[in-house]
């Protein structure tokens, strides 16, 4: 379903509801290792910026945390 705008519409609805509920930001987690460049580009286009990184126990992956401020 990539390229049909569904994920963008889902996030836009999330942003609207979060803002209406009084939230100031939305956060997400994206794999850093193994990399997910399509997700990186998609989230950057939506205005998400990196705020942290973690390697959960087990070492199978590394994740990065992103946020988008609302309003």
The mean pLDDT of 17-42, rounded to a whole number, is 94
Look at residue 57 in the predicted model and tell me its pLDDT: 84
Q: Is the predicted pLDDT of residue 69 greater than 80, yes or no?
A: yes
When pLDDT is averaged across residues 1-27 and rounded to a whole number, the result is: 94
Q: What topology is assigned to 6-69 in CATH?
A: Aminopeptidase (3.40.630)
Can you give the three-state secondary structure of the chain, one letter per residue?
Answer: CCCCCHHHHHHHHHHHHHHHCCCCEEEEEEEEECCCHHHHHHHHHCCCEEEEEECCCCCCCEEEEEEEECC
pTM: 0.86
Residue 8, pLDDT above cutoff 80: yes
Q: What is the mean pLDDT of the chain?
A: 93
Relative to beta strand 49-54, strand 25-33 is: unpaired
């Amino acid at each position: 379903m990539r390229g049909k705008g569904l994920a963008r519409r889902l996030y836009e609805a999330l942003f609207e509801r979060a803002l209406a509920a009084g939230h100031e930001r939305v956060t997400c987690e994206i794999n850093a290792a193994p990399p997910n460049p399509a997700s990186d580009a998609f989230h950057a286009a939506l205005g998400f910026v990196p705020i942290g990184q973690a390697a959960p126990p087990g070492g199978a992956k590394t994740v990065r945390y992103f946020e988008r401020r609302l309003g």
